[in-house]
Amino acid sequence: MTNRVFVTGLGLITAIGNSVSETLTSLKASESGLPNLTPFETDIENSPPVCRIDLTNGELQKRLGINPAKEISRTALLGLVAAKEAVQATKLKGNDLESCGLISANSVGGMDRSENFYPEFLDNPKKGKLRQVIGHTCAFSTNLIADQLGLKSMVTTISTACSSSANAIMFGSRLIRHGKVDRVIAGGCDALTRFTVNGFGALKILDNERCKPFDEKRAGLNLGEGAGYLVLESETSAMSGNRKPICEVTGFANTCDAFHQTASSPEGEGSFLAMQQALNMAGLTPSNVDYINAHGTGTRNNDLSEGIAISRLFAPDHPPVSSTKPFTGHTLGAAGGIEAVLSCLSIRNNLVYPNLCRQHPMPELDFEPVRTLKSDRETHHVVSNSFGFGGNDSTLVFSRY
């Protein structure tokens, strides 16, 4: 017998809001809630627009009560903001907090600080502040969050590109299901860096306008930054602490189609299997699903691959489908965590978010993404997709408690 896994706390910081409530307000406002796309200094001619959070590192440190003079990566700061909000929502403290595990994910680590270090160091090896590169590893942000929150149980880091934080939530759920821990903070964080933007520019998959997921004229993605964390608890833990669950993690799956270093298979085999296996674990059929929060990056490959998989599994009666990346940008290692939080909010508030900017149907697909905010039906089961480089495909299923 396995334990049930409940979501009892949510934390979020995105380009459209510095908290869960602010982000939800922007989502409800649809177009008026869109982030300002701003250029990002890179080596690319005509620097592409990105979805930035409107707080400097110094402002983030002040908000967190951390000395602004300390050299801390932006990824770690964003992660701490969201993880702290998730914990505060549960009112966990004392031994219950100390025994809480942390499964955190990211893809760029402290690259932003390393980028500040190397120009001066390469010019003169006797220069450069070594403390700027101490936080380079992906694990640095995880350790900072654990230290700041006083977590003393299992602490680990996952990095599987854009499926990273979905896999963190999956791993945390597995630990609880099998009785290894009672409660876990799981999710991920990532900050914008020149390295990231240059890399995606080299792949020629950045849109110089707002991204258009599932649009025939889609031209690529907009990169973003942010963090999203969930507090996961066993039923015994949640009930003993009188914490009312927001929803339940009922299913999850990870597959790897290994088709290409950066692209998913054209047939969407990995995406299809991830969704199918996650629904099987949840004991659901495709007809039970009320909303699919798609990975939906806006690239030619992803939207075709994911769209074909959705058509194959859910036809002929598709549930509402949308991508929220025109709001937040593609936040890479944080995407699965952010979109998991949005999926939980979808259930709690009976919302289906709009797939903004989509105008031209993709002829290969037999479904139409939702284009306006929907709040006219109960949302019981939500599928959240997060697909990473190498065909690392992850699906989470959240259900009403």
Q: pLDDT for 188-211, tens place per residue?
A: 999 999 999 999 998 999 999 999
What average pLDDT does the segment 340-355 reach? 97
pLDDT at 401 over 60: yes
Same topology for domains 5-240 and 247-399, yes or no?
A: yes
8 Å CB contact between 172 and 186: yes
- Among the listed ranges 19-23, 117-121, 359-363, 383-387, which one has the minimum average pLDDT value? 117-121
Q: What is the pLDDT of residue 71?
A: 87
CA 338 to chain CA centroid, nearest Å: 4
In terms of Cβ atoms closer than 10 Å to its own Cβ (0-12, 13-18, 19+), residue 101 is buried
The angle at the Cα of 210, spanning 346 to 304, to the nearest 5 degrees, equals 70
Residue type, 365: L
8 Å CB contact between 281 and 254: no
Q: Enumerate the H helices of 31-152 as residue ranges.
A: 57-64, 74-90, 94-98, 111-123, 138-149
Calculate what percentage of the chain has a pLDDT beyond 70: 96
**Domain 247-399 CATH class label:** alpha beta
- Stated length of the chain: 401
Q: How confident is the model at residue 169 (pLDDT cuts 50, 70, 90)?
A: very high
Q: Which sequence positions are flagged as catalytic?
A: 162, 295, 330
Which fold does the domain 5-240 belong to in CATH?
Peroxisomal Thiolase; Chain A, domain 1 (3.40.47)
* DSSP secondary structure letter of residue 289: -
- Tens digit of pLDDT for each residue in 249-274? 999 999 988 777 667 777 889 999 99
On average, the pLDDT of the chain sits at: 93
Residue type, 174: R
> Where do we find the tokens 């009892």?
8
- Tens digit of pLDDT for each residue in 125-165? 888 778 778 889 999 999 999 999 999 999 999 999 999 99
Reported as type and span, the H/E element at residue 278 is helix 269-282
pTM: 0.96
Could you state, in order of their start, the residue ranges of all structural domains in the chain? 5-240, 247-399
Q: What is the pLDDT of residue 32?
A: 46
d(CA 305, CA 195): 27
- Tens digit of pLDDT for each residue in 62-116? 999 999 888 899 999 999 999 999 999 999 999 999 999 999 999 999 999 898 8
pLDDT at 301 over 70: yes
Q: How confident is the model at residue 31 (pLDDT cuts 50, 70, 90)?
A: low
What average pLDDT does the segment 163-175 reach? 98
